[in-house]
Amino acid sequence: MATHGRNLNDYVTRFWTIAAPLYDHPALQQWVYRPAQDEVIDELRAHGARRIADIACGTGILAARIAEELEPDEIYGVDMSDGMLRQAKARSPQVDWRKGPAEHLPFDDETLDAVVSTSAFHFFDQPKAMSDFYRVLRPGGLAAVATISPPQLPLLSRLTNSPSSAAHNPSPQEMRTLFADAGFILTDQRRVDRPLWTRGVWDLITIGTKP
């Protein structure tokens, strides 16, 4: 996996602060980001979660949809980037927006019913983030992570996981191991259902519960 720490988090924060104004383009949102967010909302609805955090919430589209569509008791959006959070805050006053890294979440132990994350997990220190998701969830709580996970073809893996890349795209097996090592019971893993012409996004959703 990629080397993570303060330097990587600084780099990722700077990049997303610059990219924030481009991020809400409707076509980008509709075809790239929305299919995974739809599946996360379905999972939250089925679980009946009332205290929910969206980790690496970006400009806050998913967290704002959760607030509107599920009307939970508490909904938090967490991100490290000031630029992304600025746009998120302008989007919805119903969400409690918080600045912080996925690896050290700004919540006490066992305070949430669900932790979700879409299109960002490849940037995280993945074992640390999974362990912090586990820490903040109450027993029975849900973790749903949608992340880019290209097929394990040698050339593709070299391109998408080059040593110079800041991100690491985990394989389905790596995701299952990360969930299990953090203490979760794996309940589902599947490819995100998306239109044929966007299947090259190769996103995967993995779902687990805290025993």
Ligand X SMILES: C[S@@+](CC[C@H](N)C(=O)[O-])C[C@H]1O[C@@H](n2cnc3c(N)ncnc32)[C@H](O)[C@@H]1O
* Residues at the contact surface with ligand X, assessed by CB under 6 A: 9, 12-13, 16, 33, 56-58, 61-62, 79-81, 84, 101-103, 118-120, 123-124
CB of 88 to ligand X, least distance (A): 9
Of 97 and 123, nearer to ligand X (C-beta) is: 123
Of 84 and 112, nearer to ligand X (C-beta) is: 84
CA–CA separation, 188 and 114 (whole Å) = 15
CB of 25 to ligand X, least distance (A): 12
Of 141 and 147, nearer to ligand X (C-beta) is: 147
Residues 6+ apart with CB under 8 A from 78: 53, 54, 55, 56, 57, 97, 98, 99, 100, 102, 105, 106
CB of 211 to ligand X, least distance (A): 26
Of 104 and 185, nearer to ligand X (C-beta) is: 104
Residue 90 CA, distance from chain mean position: 21
CB of 174 to ligand X, least distance (A): 17
Neighbours of 173 (CB within 10 A): 11
Of 57 and 130, nearer to ligand X (C-beta) is: 57
Task: Count CA within 13 A, CB hemisphere, residue 147.
Answer: 28
CB-closest chain residue to ligand X: 58
CB of 206 to ligand X, least distance (A): 15
